[in-house]
Structure 1
Amino acid sequence: MAAIVWLIAGIVLAAAEMLTGDLTLLMLGAAALGTAGVSAATDLPVWGDALVFAAVSGVLFLGVRPALRRRFGTPPPNPTNADALPGKTALVLEEVAEYSGRVKLDGEVWTARPLDPNESYEPGVSVYVMKIDGATAVVWKGPL
């Protein structure tokens, strides 16, 4: 009877993991399924099942979960979208000053502002994109 309870708990916890994506409930669900297996194979008392559950949970949380998070929690190897723009060059279309400016970056027109608010860049000048701040490219001409 205890094995069935552990089995149901394991399935429910593993299914509930789909709502969180943190791998916490999955580790608890796997520990409950492991405890269900041990409970079905042996005749341990309830406190014995609890110790098995705690031990398996500890192993999964300390050993398996960090490895899974490293493997599946890393960002893509190649930056995409706005993350790929810093470091590229852009052409100034309208004067880039502290509160205004436009640049052409990868074929698209972006609003821009200088990295140093005291600088301004004239149209036709090439600048480097230092970062993307919302929908604004923060640019720098580089050393003179």
Structure 2
Amino acid sequence: MNDIDAWVWWLVGAAALGIPLVVTAMPEFGMFAVGAVAAAVVAALGPGVVAQVITFLVVSVALIAVVRPVANRHSRQRPQLASGIEALKGKQAVVLERVDGRGGRVKLAGEIWSARALDADRAYEAGQEVDVVDIEGATAIVI
């Protein structure tokens, strides 16, 4: 460490911790990298190695203790906005061709869909409004 300042080594360490962050997608490596950058700042200000290591540990542990629980909480939440076929469930459709247990056609969200009645004994005639309860492949299941 005689030729290169300590802050440069901390930045090299931060970059080295960034590599497994990208390769493994484990955010903990990013938190350690931020701790190394904080230690580089402390090293540039002049305190000794002990202060640098303590800064690295405190910042890294603090980030893990604060960020991980928040990230875990957000990853378990369902999206607020339904999209794709989930957005079509519960919508109303208009029957274009008779829909029964074997099939038919409906207009759903401005598009023509094949449809099938949930209750195989039930039939819906053209012009009736039906509710979409599920989507199976490209077929709307209606009641």
Fold match (TM-score > 0.5):
yes
Select between 70-79 and 81-90 the one with higher mean Cα deviation.
70-79
Is 1:32 the counterpart of 2:36? The answer is: yes
Q: Unmatched 5+ residue regions in structure 1?
A: none
Residues 14, 30 of structure 1: 8 Å contact kept:
no
User: For 1:59, what is the secondary structure of its paired residue?
Assistant: helix
User: 1:123 is matched with which residue?
Assistant: 125
Q: 1:15 deviation in Å?
A: 7.2
Inter-partner Cα distance in structure 2 for 1:131 and 1:22: 36
Distance 1:55 1:138, change over 3 A: farther
Q: 1:113 deviation in Å?
A: 2.9
Inter-partner Cα distance in structure 2 for 1:136 and 1:126: 16
Q: How many pairs align? A: 137
Q: TM-score, normalised by structure 1?
A: 0.65
Q: 1:12 deviation in Å?
A: 5.0
Q: Unmatched 5+ residue regions in structure 2?
A: none
Q: Once superposed, what is the RMSD of the aligned Cα atoms?
A: 3.6
Distance 1:93 1:57, change over 3 A: same
1:57-82 residue CA offsets vs partner (Å, 9 max, x unmatched): 22112213444676799776443443
Is 1:58 the counterpart of 2:91? The answer is: no
Q: 1:85 deviation in Å?
A: 1.8
Select between 75-84 and 104-113 the one with higher mean Cα deviation.
75-84
What amino acid does structure 2 have at the position aligned with 1:122? Y
Distance 1:130 1:19, change over 3 A: farther
Inter-partner Cα distance in structure 1 for 2:57 and 2:101: 59
Distance 1:45 1:138, change over 3 A: same
User: For 1:96, what is the secondary structure of its paired residue?
Assistant: coil
Q: 1:132 deviation in Å?
A: 3.0
Q: TM-score, normalised by structure 2?
A: 0.65
Distance 1:92 1:8, change over 3 A: same
Q: 1:55 deviation in Å?
A: 3.0
Higher Cα radius of gyration = 2
Inter-partner Cα distance in structure 2 for 1:72 and 1:39: 36
Inter-partner Cα distance in structure 1 for 2:101 and 2:10: 63
Is 1:43 the counterpart of 2:45? The answer is: no
1:35-66 residue CA offsets vs partner (Å, 9 max, x unmatched): 222344421259x72x5434322211221344
